[in-house]
Structure 1
Amino acid sequence: MSDISFDKARRHVLGLGCERGTPPAEMLALANAALKAAGIGESELAAVASIDSRGQEAAILAVAAHFGTPAVFFDAERLEQETPRLKNPSAIVFARVGCHGVAESAALAATGADGELVLGKIKSAHATAAIARIGLQKA
Protein backbone atom coordinates (compact mmCIF):
# COMPACT_ATOMS: atom_id res chain seq x y z
CA MET A 1 0.00 0.00 0.00
CA SER A 2 1.10 3.55 -0.61
CA ASP A 3 1.73 6.21 2.00
CA ILE A 4 -1.86 7.45 2.06
CA SER A 5 -3.00 8.74 5.42
CA PHE A 6 -6.30 7.12 6.35
CA ASP A 7 -8.34 8.24 9.31
CA LYS A 8 -11.95 7.92 10.43
CA ALA A 9 -13.01 10.82 8.20
CA ARG A 10 -10.89 10.10 5.11
CA ARG A 11 -11.47 6.42 4.39
CA HIS A 12 -12.11 6.41 0.63
CA VAL A 13 -10.00 6.41 -2.52
CA LEU A 14 -11.27 7.58 -5.89
CA GLY A 15 -9.80 5.44 -8.66
CA LEU A 16 -9.60 7.10 -12.08
CA GLY A 17 -8.77 5.93 -15.57
CA CYS A 18 -8.79 7.97 -18.76
CA GLU A 19 -7.73 8.42 -22.33
CA ARG A 20 -4.78 10.72 -22.83
CA GLY A 21 -5.86 14.34 -23.08
CA THR A 22 -9.18 13.88 -21.28
CA PRO A 23 -10.53 17.34 -20.46
CA PRO A 24 -10.15 18.13 -16.73
CA ALA A 25 -13.76 19.38 -16.62
CA GLU A 26 -15.00 15.99 -17.85
CA MET A 27 -12.92 14.15 -15.25
CA LEU A 28 -14.09 16.42 -12.44
CA ALA A 29 -17.73 15.98 -13.46
CA LEU A 30 -17.25 12.19 -13.44
CA ALA A 31 -15.51 12.33 -10.05
CA ASN A 32 -18.39 14.34 -8.60
CA ALA A 33 -20.91 11.90 -10.11
CA ALA A 34 -19.02 9.01 -8.50
CA LEU A 35 -19.05 10.66 -5.09
CA LYS A 36 -22.77 11.40 -5.41
CA ALA A 37 -23.58 7.85 -6.56
CA ALA A 38 -21.66 6.40 -3.61
CA GLY A 39 -23.10 8.89 -1.11
CA ILE A 40 -19.62 10.08 -0.16
CA GLY A 41 -18.61 13.64 0.63
CA GLU A 42 -15.45 15.31 -0.64
CA SER A 43 -14.09 15.41 2.90
CA GLU A 44 -14.13 11.60 3.00
CA LEU A 45 -11.52 11.19 0.24
CA ALA A 46 -8.00 10.21 1.26
CA ALA A 47 -6.56 10.09 -2.27
CA VAL A 48 -7.05 9.83 -5.99
CA ALA A 49 -5.41 6.79 -7.62
CA SER A 50 -4.61 5.64 -11.16
CA ILE A 51 -2.14 3.77 -13.33
CA ASP A 52 1.41 5.12 -13.49
CA SER A 53 1.20 5.78 -17.23
CA ARG A 54 -1.27 8.54 -16.36
CA GLY A 55 0.97 10.06 -13.69
CA GLN A 56 1.25 13.37 -15.54
CA GLU A 57 -2.30 13.43 -16.92
CA ALA A 58 -3.71 16.91 -16.32
CA ALA A 59 -7.27 15.67 -15.72
CA ILE A 60 -6.26 13.31 -12.90
CA LEU A 61 -3.95 15.84 -11.29
CA ALA A 62 -6.71 18.48 -11.50
CA VAL A 63 -9.16 16.21 -9.66
CA ALA A 64 -6.63 15.52 -6.90
CA ALA A 65 -5.91 19.24 -6.57
CA HIS A 66 -9.62 20.08 -6.53
CA PHE A 67 -10.26 17.68 -3.64
CA GLY A 68 -7.01 18.55 -1.85
CA THR A 69 -5.78 14.95 -1.83
CA PRO A 70 -2.62 13.25 -3.02
CA ALA A 71 -2.58 11.50 -6.39
CA VAL A 72 -1.03 8.03 -6.18
CA PHE A 73 -0.07 5.82 -9.09
CA PHE A 74 0.52 2.10 -9.51
CA ASP A 75 2.12 0.12 -12.31
CA ALA A 76 0.03 -2.25 -14.42
CA GLU A 77 1.54 -5.31 -12.75
CA ARG A 78 0.36 -4.12 -9.32
CA LEU A 79 -3.09 -3.24 -10.67
CA GLU A 80 -3.40 -6.66 -12.32
CA GLN A 81 -3.07 -8.26 -8.86
CA GLU A 82 -6.48 -6.76 -8.01
CA THR A 83 -8.29 -8.58 -10.87
CA PRO A 84 -10.02 -11.16 -8.62
CA ARG A 85 -11.66 -8.31 -6.65
CA LEU A 86 -12.92 -6.30 -9.66
CA LYS A 87 -16.62 -5.89 -10.37
CA ASN A 88 -15.98 -5.04 -14.04
CA PRO A 89 -12.80 -6.68 -15.39
CA SER A 90 -12.12 -5.86 -19.03
CA ALA A 91 -10.13 -7.78 -21.62
CA ILE A 92 -10.08 -4.60 -23.73
CA VAL A 93 -8.39 -2.64 -20.94
CA PHE A 94 -5.94 -5.51 -20.43
CA ALA A 95 -5.00 -5.43 -24.12
CA ARG A 96 -4.38 -1.68 -23.94
CA VAL A 97 -2.56 -1.22 -20.62
CA GLY A 98 -1.71 -4.65 -19.19
CA CYS A 99 -4.29 -4.90 -16.41
CA HIS A 100 -7.98 -5.82 -16.37
CA GLY A 101 -9.11 -2.48 -14.99
CA VAL A 102 -7.69 0.87 -13.96
CA ALA A 103 -10.24 2.78 -11.88
CA GLU A 104 -11.38 -0.15 -9.72
CA SER A 105 -7.90 -1.67 -9.49
CA ALA A 106 -6.24 1.60 -8.50
CA ALA A 107 -8.83 2.31 -5.81
CA LEU A 108 -8.39 -1.20 -4.40
CA ALA A 109 -4.59 -1.12 -4.60
CA ALA A 110 -4.57 2.14 -2.66
CA THR A 111 -6.84 0.84 0.10
CA GLY A 112 -4.94 -2.42 0.54
CA ALA A 113 -5.94 -6.04 1.05
CA ASP A 114 -8.87 -5.25 3.34
CA GLY A 115 -10.24 -2.44 1.18
CA GLU A 116 -13.51 -2.94 -0.66
CA LEU A 117 -15.23 -1.39 -3.64
CA VAL A 118 -18.18 0.77 -2.68
CA LEU A 119 -18.76 1.98 -6.24
CA GLY A 120 -17.86 -0.10 -9.26
CA LYS A 121 -16.64 1.53 -12.44
CA ILE A 122 -18.73 4.30 -13.96
CA LYS A 123 -17.89 5.95 -17.28
CA SER A 124 -17.93 9.23 -19.12
CA ALA A 125 -16.94 9.74 -22.77
CA HIS A 126 -13.20 9.48 -22.06
CA ALA A 127 -12.78 8.38 -18.44
CA THR A 128 -13.73 5.91 -15.72
CA ALA A 129 -14.10 6.25 -11.96
CA ALA A 130 -14.59 3.88 -9.01
CA ILE A 131 -14.42 4.23 -5.24
CA ALA A 132 -12.99 1.89 -2.60
CA ARG A 133 -13.07 2.18 1.19
CA ILE A 134 -10.29 1.21 3.54
CA GLY A 135 -11.13 -1.68 5.86
CA LEU A 136 -12.25 -0.92 9.41
CA GLN A 137 -9.19 -2.41 11.12
CA LYS A 138 -6.83 0.06 9.39
CA ALA A 139 -8.60 3.25 10.41
Structure 2
Amino acid sequence: MSTRAWLVAGFGCRQGCTESELQGLLDQALALAGALATELCGIATFERRLDEPGLLALAERLMLPLGGYSAAALAPFEPFLSQRSEVSWRHTGCHGVAESAALAHCQTLSTLPPRLLVTRQCSHQATVALAST
Protein backbone atom coordinates (compact mmCIF):
# COMPACT_ATOMS: atom_id res chain seq x y z
CA MET A 1 0.00 0.00 0.00
CA SER A 2 1.08 3.54 -0.70
CA THR A 3 0.49 7.03 0.62
CA ARG A 4 0.27 8.62 -2.85
CA ALA A 5 -3.04 9.97 -4.14
CA TRP A 6 -5.16 7.52 -6.13
CA LEU A 7 -8.19 8.10 -8.36
CA VAL A 8 -10.68 5.27 -8.92
CA ALA A 9 -13.91 5.10 -10.90
CA GLY A 10 -16.64 2.95 -9.39
CA PHE A 11 -19.43 1.68 -11.64
CA GLY A 12 -22.81 0.15 -11.08
CA CYS A 13 -24.56 -1.04 -14.23
CA ARG A 14 -27.36 -3.11 -15.60
CA GLN A 15 -26.56 -6.23 -17.55
CA GLY A 16 -25.73 -5.36 -21.15
CA CYS A 17 -24.74 -1.74 -20.52
CA THR A 18 -22.56 -0.57 -23.40
CA GLU A 19 -19.00 0.66 -23.25
CA SER A 20 -20.07 3.94 -24.86
CA GLU A 21 -22.64 4.62 -22.13
CA LEU A 22 -20.06 3.87 -19.44
CA GLN A 23 -17.49 6.07 -21.18
CA GLY A 24 -19.98 8.94 -21.39
CA LEU A 25 -20.69 8.70 -17.67
CA LEU A 26 -16.98 8.51 -16.88
CA ASP A 27 -16.28 11.58 -19.02
CA GLN A 28 -19.00 13.46 -17.12
CA ALA A 29 -17.55 12.50 -13.72
CA LEU A 30 -14.00 13.33 -14.74
CA ALA A 31 -15.13 16.76 -15.99
CA LEU A 32 -16.84 17.42 -12.65
CA ALA A 33 -13.62 16.48 -10.85
CA GLY A 34 -11.39 18.46 -13.19
CA ALA A 35 -9.46 15.24 -13.82
CA LEU A 36 -8.26 13.29 -16.84
CA ALA A 37 -8.76 9.62 -17.63
CA THR A 38 -4.98 9.21 -17.51
CA GLU A 39 -5.13 9.99 -13.77
CA LEU A 40 -7.28 6.92 -13.07
CA CYS A 41 -5.55 3.94 -11.52
CA GLY A 42 -8.47 1.52 -11.58
CA ILE A 43 -12.13 0.74 -12.17
CA ALA A 44 -14.26 -1.04 -9.59
CA THR A 45 -17.70 -2.61 -9.52
CA PHE A 46 -19.88 -5.25 -7.88
CA GLU A 47 -18.37 -8.73 -8.16
CA ARG A 48 -21.24 -10.06 -10.29
CA ARG A 49 -20.50 -7.46 -12.97
CA LEU A 50 -16.87 -8.41 -13.56
CA ASP A 51 -17.84 -10.26 -16.74
CA GLU A 52 -19.90 -7.43 -18.24
CA PRO A 53 -18.64 -6.82 -21.79
CA GLY A 54 -19.04 -3.02 -21.55
CA LEU A 55 -17.00 -2.78 -18.35
CA LEU A 56 -14.38 -5.20 -19.65
CA ALA A 57 -14.03 -3.24 -22.90
CA LEU A 58 -13.73 0.08 -21.04
CA ALA A 59 -11.09 -1.26 -18.68
CA GLU A 60 -9.14 -2.80 -21.55
CA ARG A 61 -9.27 0.35 -23.69
CA LEU A 62 -8.16 2.51 -20.75
CA MET A 63 -5.58 -0.15 -19.76
CA LEU A 64 -6.88 -0.19 -16.18
CA PRO A 65 -7.45 -3.07 -13.78
CA LEU A 66 -11.09 -3.93 -13.06
CA GLY A 67 -11.75 -4.84 -9.42
CA GLY A 68 -14.89 -6.51 -8.14
CA TYR A 69 -16.27 -6.43 -4.60
CA SER A 70 -18.88 -8.43 -2.76
CA ALA A 71 -21.78 -6.89 -0.86
CA ALA A 72 -19.95 -7.72 2.38
CA ALA A 73 -16.84 -5.85 1.20
CA LEU A 74 -18.93 -2.83 0.18
CA ALA A 75 -21.01 -2.70 3.38
CA PRO A 76 -18.44 -0.78 5.51
CA PHE A 77 -18.69 2.15 3.09
CA GLU A 78 -22.45 2.61 3.46
CA PRO A 79 -22.08 5.48 5.98
CA PHE A 80 -20.17 7.46 3.34
CA LEU A 81 -22.74 7.13 0.54
CA SER A 82 -24.36 10.28 -0.79
CA GLN A 83 -27.67 8.39 -0.97
CA ARG A 84 -29.01 4.90 -0.45
CA SER A 85 -30.71 3.07 -3.28
CA GLU A 86 -33.36 0.50 -2.46
CA VAL A 87 -33.16 -0.74 -6.06
CA SER A 88 -29.45 -1.41 -5.61
CA TRP A 89 -30.17 -3.12 -2.30
CA ARG A 90 -32.70 -5.47 -3.90
CA HIS A 91 -30.29 -6.47 -6.69
CA THR A 92 -26.95 -6.55 -4.87
CA GLY A 93 -27.42 -6.47 -1.11
CA CYS A 94 -25.71 -3.08 -0.85
CA HIS A 95 -27.18 0.41 -1.00
CA GLY A 96 -24.83 1.89 -3.57
CA VAL A 97 -22.44 0.07 -5.86
CA ALA A 98 -20.64 2.89 -7.70
CA GLU A 99 -19.67 4.93 -4.64
CA SER A 100 -18.94 1.92 -2.43
CA ALA A 101 -16.84 0.17 -5.08
CA ALA A 102 -14.77 3.29 -5.75
CA LEU A 103 -14.13 3.77 -2.03
CA ALA A 104 -13.35 0.09 -1.48
CA HIS A 105 -10.87 0.00 -4.35
CA CYS A 106 -9.11 3.15 -3.12
CA GLN A 107 -8.77 1.61 0.31
CA THR A 108 -6.99 -1.41 -1.13
CA LEU A 109 -4.42 0.88 -2.77
CA SER A 110 -3.50 3.29 0.00
CA THR A 111 -3.07 3.76 3.71
CA LEU A 112 -4.84 7.11 3.37
CA PRO A 113 -8.60 7.14 3.96
CA PRO A 114 -10.64 7.20 0.74
CA ARG A 115 -13.13 9.95 0.03
CA LEU A 116 -15.76 10.54 -2.62
CA LEU A 117 -14.52 13.06 -5.13
CA VAL A 118 -17.61 12.88 -7.35
CA THR A 119 -20.82 11.38 -5.99
CA ARG A 120 -22.82 9.03 -8.16
CA GLN A 121 -23.75 10.23 -11.61
CA CYS A 122 -26.51 8.34 -13.39
CA SER A 123 -27.49 7.37 -16.90
CA HIS A 124 -30.28 5.08 -18.00
CA GLN A 125 -28.22 1.90 -17.53
CA ALA A 126 -25.40 2.79 -15.15
CA THR A 127 -23.95 4.88 -12.32
CA VAL A 128 -20.41 6.10 -11.78
CA ALA A 129 -18.61 7.75 -8.88
CA LEU A 130 -15.03 8.84 -8.35
CA ALA A 131 -13.07 8.27 -5.17
CA SER A 132 -9.64 9.45 -4.22
CA THR A 133 -7.17 9.25 -1.38
Tell me how far apart the structure 1 counterparts of residues 62 and 117 of structure 2 sit (CA, whole Å): 19
Q: How many residues align?
A: 129
Matched, 1:47 2:42: yes
CA gap of 1:7–1:67, structure 2 versus 1, over 3 A, is farther
Map of 1:121 onto structure 2: 120
Match of 2:51 among 51, 56, 74: 56
Runs of 5+ unmatched residues, structure 1: 135-139
CA gap of 1:50–1:6, structure 2 versus 1, over 3 A, is farther
Map of 2:101 onto structure 1: 106
Sequence identity percentage = 34
The letter of the residue matching 1:19 is R
The answer to which structure, 1 or 2, has the higher relative contact order (CA under 8 A, 6+ apart) is 2
Q: CA deviation at 1:66?
A: 2.2
Matched position secondary structure for 1:21: coil
Runs of 5+ unmatched residues, structure 2: none
In the TM superposition, what whole-angstrom CA distance separates every residue of 1:2-50 from its partner, at most 9, and x where no partner exists?
A: x8x8845xx1000001000011111111111111111111121010000
Matched position secondary structure for 2:10: strand
Tell me how far apart the structure 2 counterparts of residues 74 and 124 of structure 1 sit (CA, whole Å): 22
CA contact (8 A) 1:12 1:133 kept: yes
Match of 1:96 among 82, 86, 91: 91
Tell me how far apart the structure 1 counterparts of residues 31 and 61 of structure 2 sit (CA, whole Å): 16
Map of 1:131 onto structure 2: 130
Which of the two has greater helix per residue?
Answer: 2
Q: Displaced runs of 4+ in structure 1, greater than 2 A?
A: 5-8
TM-score with structure 2 setting the length: 0.90
Shifted more, 56-65 versus 119-128: the winner is 56-65
Aligned-residue CA RMSD (Å): 1.7
